Chain A
Amino acid sequence: MANKCEKLVNEKKRAGEQTLGALYSEGKVRRRREWRGFKDTMYDFSRWLYIWSIMIDTSMGKGFVKGLFRYRWMVNYLAVPHMMDKFTIGLRDEALRMTHVAMNYVAKDIALTVKRCLRGDRRCGNDTKLSDQTVLVDENSMAAFMMGFPTLKPLQREVPTMFAANLINQYSAIHYIDVAQQFGMPGDVCPMPETEAGISIEDDLVVMGRCAVQVNTTCDGSLMGNGLIAKRLEREYGIPTFQLVAPMRHRMEDVQKYAAEDMKAAIAFIEETTGAKWDWKAYFEAAKRVNLTTRNRLEWLDINATPYPQFVGAVFCLYNDTNYMGNSGRSTVFPKMDAKIMKLVHQGYERKAMMAPEYRHRCVVWGVQPQYVIDMLYWMMQCWGVVPLTDMLSMVIKKEIAEEDTPENREQAYYDMAYLTENMIMRNHTHGGVETMVDELWEACEQMNADMVMLWEHMACKALEGMHGQFEEQARKRGINLVWVSHDLCDPRVASRQAIRDQFNQYMRTVMREEPLDPTIEVITDNNAW
């Protein structure tokens, strides 16, 4: 594989600001918003108003005020507009629009989750009807086992408390990490399940739902954190829990029956505890939408493999994440969002639209992204002209599942749901052996015509760290420029945002011997920022 990449210069001058450093101050938020030229600034302004309308609508929900004062994680939601600014740094035209379409829907989805959480929470809204319709689901799990329960609502309590919170506010997790460590958790475990454990210990998760289904998701820490959370759910709040298994070596044929049988058991558990009946019609309708998601995502990847990638960056990953895991084909709105994005992607591709003044390197982003520096991928593009073509979390479901309601497909459906669950975002690469973690990276590089890999080295991710030497040696053998960027997922005290960017800066200067496209953002004073 070659390690050279043709430089591609954007012939169209970017409207509005040419450099972005002026936006940042040493304070907690940016000095001001970006001037993107009149048209795009007005568009961004309209989206800002839309985000505020979502936030105001959420704040009108039952139990919101109580929740705002009860739950520490609620403070993060003040910063949602700030998060949107992080996702749109330097973007114009189609790229700006598709980011807003996708992220506005993600924000809406999270807002709905917050609304439901506070409405149904025994301590806040105490809406028992909503609570009785709710099945608590792991944050990192594929809610495939809910595809045939249209009358029930899966609720990922950890999304607003941990996952999304850390995208919005880099310091959102540290209080809970400290609580977990105060109770004896060592500081070297993955801070994501550690934070969730801390939230549970602090009793800061909403209490609602008829039952809960937990899955061994991304790592041993995540598997183990479930027990701690389930204990409190069962013993203190009387909410029964089910532990659904997703095999570790999920590519092996001889584990699929095991997974499918447990899927049946999970569905039976939900039926038994909620009284709801599995609806095959709803399942196969949802299956069609899952397949549509897969087809669309693969098409976006095909376009990203060309010299003019369109739907890239953290938004690509988060949109896929929400679409597959939170949604799993249940929502009828996602296909509409997909269609809007697809239209913009095609339009941008036909126009040969570029997102930065130059594309110098085509990069595959691998490993586990740090939540608190989610804007890094846009920064790489604007600062160094390195285009993030795709990332590990977006290289997810590859095959389509059975979508016609036939007797054979009803049996196949359990295997398909197991397949979706085994291939949940992140876990499909962290588990399954070296082939899913290392070999598939090189396949992705081939597929995307990449000359560079940015490897997020989440220092507490044992599945990733365990292959450190292999990545290093195999990249060298293949002539791939491999940039290690270490971090601690959601604890900025371990590696600050600038410390993370500096690793990339150093590589670009010392190994690639290049100068930045926009030197004003090589160092950004955002260590105190949300």
Chain B
Amino acid sequence: MALAFEILGIVLIVLAVLFVLLFIIYFFNLDMKFMVYVVAPFLEKIYDKRDKNQYV
């Protein structure tokens, strides 16, 4: 029983931490900041380098 409570407690703590982390990401717009300053420039470099088949 004690073990079950311990596991439940750990699960609740993990969920709480996850919630707090996700909420921080959400509220401070960290998801978009990561995308715009890290992922997008990386992808754009790839697009610029790609061979193109431009044709009307």
Query: By the criterion CB–CB under 8 Å, are B32 and A29 in contact?
Result: yes
Query: By the criterion CB–CB under 8 Å, are B26 and A29 in contact?
Result: no
The answer to whether residues A69 and B46 also contact, given A79-B35, A530-B36 and a CB cut-off of 8 A, is: yes
Task: Report how far A203 CA is from B54 CA in the complex, Å.
Answer: 6
**10 pairs across A/B with beta carbons < 8 Å?**
A28-B37, A30-B32, A45-B23, A49-B22, A69-B46, A75-B40, A75-B43, A78-B35, A203-B53, A203-B54
Give the size range of B's interface with the partner: 20 to 34
B-side contacts of A236, CB under 8 Å: 55
The answer to whether residues A32 and B28 also contact, given A69-B43, A75-B40, A79-B35 and a CB cut-off of 8 A, is: yes
A-side contacts of B44, CB under 8 Å: 72, 75
> Shortest Cβ distance from B46 into chain A, in angstroms?
6
* B29: contacting residue among A29, A183, A201, CB under 8 A: A29
Task: Report how far A183 CA is from B33 CA in the complex, Å.
Answer: 35
> Shortest Cβ distance from B39 into chain A, in angstroms?
6
Interface centre among B33, B46, B47, B52 (most CB of A within 10 A): B47
Query: By the criterion CB–CB under 8 Å, are B56 and A29 in contact?
Result: no
Task: Report how far A27 CA is from B37 CA in the complex, Å.
Answer: 10
A-B pairs with lowest CB-CB distance, top 9: A78-B35, A29-B32, A72-B47, A28-B36, A203-B53, A75-B43, A82-B32, A32-B28, A29-B36
Query: By the criterion CB–CB under 8 Å, are A78 and B40 in contact?
Result: yes
Tell me, yes or no, whether A502 is within 8 Å of chain B by CB: no
Tell me, yes or no, whether A48 is within 8 Å of chain B by CB: yes
Query: By the criterion CB–CB under 8 Å, are B54 and A32 in contact?
Result: no
Task: Report how far A192 CA is from B38 CA in the complex, Å.
Answer: 29
Query: By the criterion CB–CB under 8 Å, are A78 and B39 in contact?
Result: yes
Tell me, yes or no, whether A478 is within 8 Å of chain B by CB: no
> Shortest Cβ distance from A155 into chain B, in angstroms?
21
Task: Report how far A202 CA is from B48 CA in the complex, Å.
Answer: 12
> Shortest Cβ distance from B50 into chain A, in angstroms?
7
Query: By the criterion CB–CB under 8 Å, are A202 and B52 in contact?
Result: yes
> Shortest Cβ distance from A30 into chain B, in angstroms?
5
Given A179-B54, A231-B56, 20 other A-B residues pairs in contact with their CB atoms under 8 A: A29-B29, A30-B29, A32-B27, A45-B27, A48-B26, A49-B22, A49-B26, A69-B46, A70-B50, A75-B47, A78-B35, A78-B39, A79-B32, A79-B35, A82-B32, A183-B56, A201-B54, A201-B55, A202-B54, A232-B55
B:8-48 near A, CB below 8 Å: 22-23, 26-29, 31-33, 35-37, 39-40, 43-44, 46-47
Query: By the criterion CB–CB under 8 Å, are B43 and A68 in contact?
Result: yes
* B31: contacting residue among A52, A179, A231, A232, CB under 8 A: A52
Task: Report how far A45 CA is from B23 CA in the complex, Å.
Answer: 7
Task: Report how far A49 CA is from B25 CA in the complex, Å.
Answer: 11
> Shortest Cβ distance from A181 into chain B, in angstroms?
12
* A73 nearest in chain B by CB position: B47
Tell me, yes or no, whether A318 is within 8 Å of chain B by CB: no
Task: Report how far A81 CA is from B32 CA in the complex, Å.
Answer: 8
Tell me, yes or no, whether A1 is within 8 Å of chain B by CB: no
> Shortest Cβ distance from B4 into chain A, in angstroms?
28
* B28 nearest in chain A by CB position: A32
Task: Report how far A282 CA is from B44 CA in the complex, Å.
Answer: 44
Tell me, yes or no, whether A31 is within 8 Å of chain B by CB: yes
Task: Report how far A153 CA is from B23 CA in the complex, Å.
Answer: 38
